[in-house]
Amino acid sequence: MGLVGGLIVLAVVFLVPTYYGAKPEGWPGFLPGPIRLGLDLQGGTHLVYTVDVDKAIANHLERAAEDLKNEARNDQIGLNGVTAENGVITATLADPAKRDALEKLISDRFPNLSLTNDGSGDTVRAKMTPASIREIRDGALDQSLEIIRNRVDQFGVAEPIVQRQGTQDVLVQLPGIQDPERAKALIGKTALLEFKLVAKDPSEPGAITMAGREVDQVTGRVTRTEYKVEPRTLMTGDIISNALPRPGTQTDPRPYVEVEFNTRGAKIFEEITGANVGRRLAIILDGVVQSAPVIQERIGGGRARITGSFDFKDARDLALVLRTGALPAPVHVAEERTVGPSLGKDSIRQGILSFAVGGGLVVVFMLVYYKVAGVLADLALILNVVFLLAALAAFGATLSLPGIAGVVLTLGMAVDANVLINERMREEIRLGKTARAVIDAGYERALPAILDSNITTFLSGIILFQFGSGPVKGFAVTLCIGIVSSVFTAVVGTRVVYDFMLSKRRLQTVSV
């Protein structure tokens, strides 16, 4: 009796914020807030992002070309140039006699490349293998999925849905988002960080034009300009281990982002700066040159800074996306829908109506068919719903339309346990047993069947939660919590009432 009473009090306390719609003033921080509502109930933003996996493949090909150049230099194979265009790496030999050595190097050390047959003389060509292309495509999509999920988590959206959809799409649902434009900007920002050398001569062949911005350190005036940079990418943002926003200094008050490279990145950055002292290094973010400082000396320590024409909020957002990881490829919004509060209210009304109709029919049936025992079953049913909702609030779970469907299904399963108990007690009454014997035998004989049916359903709910999508997970959560609650209220809750009545000698016969 004390256990059931304590749980009822605790459940009511947990549901107080849900009743008021928010935590009351002075509400203890360790107690849960109101039940969270899903996108279909409280409104929000529905986005589908398409990942440009072809860009990811091109980036891998460029890095492979750079690695090939370095490996050839270490093996003393002279090359006049290495290019990566249209999915093919073309290496031009300084000495055609080294052709076999270069082909062997590619075959032995670059398993993701396969030699083509259209090279001749001093030219060797290679392209990505089909298996490598598939791996890069899948990896780019999976990495984008994780990065977007990390960005959404840091943005503070409650119970978001981020999942893979199709071969190159990512589905994002943001329930109750208050700033959708900023969320879209953070989620979809490619944050593709590249380091390229500014061309020595703007007219040199192969130099590409990139937009840029220059900021006057005295007036803060932003001037749009253009840079001629070499096409080769020396580094990308995948070697960043951390990024932090900084407010600026007395000499330069502009906010900036300080980046820390991982071990590999620190080594590469030191080699780049050591080999190009006196040249300008363009720091490019999403195709725009943020700054192009002159390399004064070899830079060790694995740190650099990104400056630009942004305020501290922009610096903080940029640091966030760099810290959670630069997207391996550009993404763009392929689909966008907004669920308004009015649609959410309609969904809530319909969900409550279905719950009321379904629950009402069950309650009436039990009252008519099982008399006093039906009254106890109905009380257990109400208690089951209270426990279920309190558990949703306590665990911070999200209630959606599929979740309401799970609640309605739980009502039917909860009363099923009472039906088994009541039928077993009817059988004992026909044998002429006393009230205590009827109750003891009824619960004892019904318990194995109750456990068997509910355990199998609970395991099914676990499987649905593990492998299902967002709506299926919502259904599975309420189903599993409802099963535990229904078994407890049907087996323990009603039995406590019977035992209390027997102890007070107020029960001579069982009305069932």
Domain boundaries, the chain: 35-43+341-503, 54-133, 189-337
Phi-psi region of 348 (alpha: psi -120 to 50; beta: other; left: phi over 0): alpha
Alpha helix locations (H) across 396-467? Answer: 401-430, 435-467
**Rounded Cα distance, 40 and 343, in Å:** 8
Q: Which residues contact 461 (CB under 8 A, 6 or more apart)?
A: 476, 479, 480, 483
Encoded tokens for 71: 């490996």
Closest CA relative to residue 394, chosen from 270, 311, 477, 316: 477
Tell me what percent of the residues of the chain surpass a pLDDT of 90: 4
Which one is the CATH code of 54-133: 3.40.190.10, 3.40.50.10190, 3.30.1240.20, 3.40.50.80? 3.30.1240.20
Q: What is the DSSP string of 166-206?
A: TTTEEEEEEET-S-HHHHHHHHH----EEEEEBPSSTTSTT
Instruction: List the one residue out of 314, 336, 286, 320 whose CA is nearest residue 147.
Output: 320
Q: Which residue has the higher pLDDT, 129 or 470?
A: 129
Q: Quick one: pLDDT at residue 429? A: 87
Sheet holding 303-307, edge to edge: 240-246, 256-261, 303-307
pLDDT digits (tens, 9 = 90+) for 169-218: 888 888 777 566 767 777 766 667 788 999 988 888 888 999 887 666 55
The CA-based dihedral angle spanning residues 437, 442, 444, 450, taken in that order and rounded to the nearest 10 degrees: -170
Q: What is the pLDDT of residues 311-327, one digit of tens each?
A: 777 777 777 666 666 67
User: What is the mean predicted confidence (pLDDT) over 369-375?
Assistant: 85
HSE-up of residue 22 (Cα within 13 Å, Cβ side): 3
What is the CATH class of 35-43+341-503?
Answer: mainly alpha
Structure tokens at 16: 């107080």
> What type of residue sits at position 4?
V
Residue 246: is its pLDDT beyond 60? yes
Average confidence (pLDDT) over 43-52:
84
3-state class percentages of the chain: helix first, strand second, coil last, to nearest 5: 55, 20, 25
Alpha-helix residue ranges (DSSP H) falling in 88-244: 99-109, 130-155, 180-188
Q: Is the fold of 35-43+341-503 the same as that of 54-133? A: no
Instruction: Please report the pLDDT score of residue 404 as a whole number.
Output: 79
Judge whether 35 and 395 are in contact, CB under 8 Å.
no
The segment with the largest mean pLDDT, out of 252-256, 272-276, 401-405, is 272-276
| Residue among 278, 303, 275, 271 nearest 293 (CA) | 278
- pLDDT for the residue numbered 154: 63
Alpha-carbon gap, residue 179 to 297, rounded angstroms:
44
DSSP conformational letter for 508: S
The rounded distance, in Å, linking the Cα atoms of 219 and 286 is 26
Asked if 67 and 84 touch (Cβ cutoff 8 Å), the reply is no
281 burial (CB, 10 Å; 0-12 / 13-18 / 19+) is buried
Is 403 in contact with 38 (CB distance < 8 Å)?
A: yes
DSSP 305-374: EEE-S--HHHHHHHHHHHHS---SS-EEEEEEEEE-HHHHHHHHHHHHHHHHHHHHHHHHHHHHHHHHHH
The span from the first CA to the last CA of the chain, in angstroms, equals 22
Q: What is the mean pLDDT of residues 150-167?
A: 73
CATH 1.10.760.10 fits 189-337, yes or no: no
Q: What angle do CA 299, 304, 305 make, to 5 degrees?
A: 140
pLDDT in tens, 327-340: 777 888 888 877 66
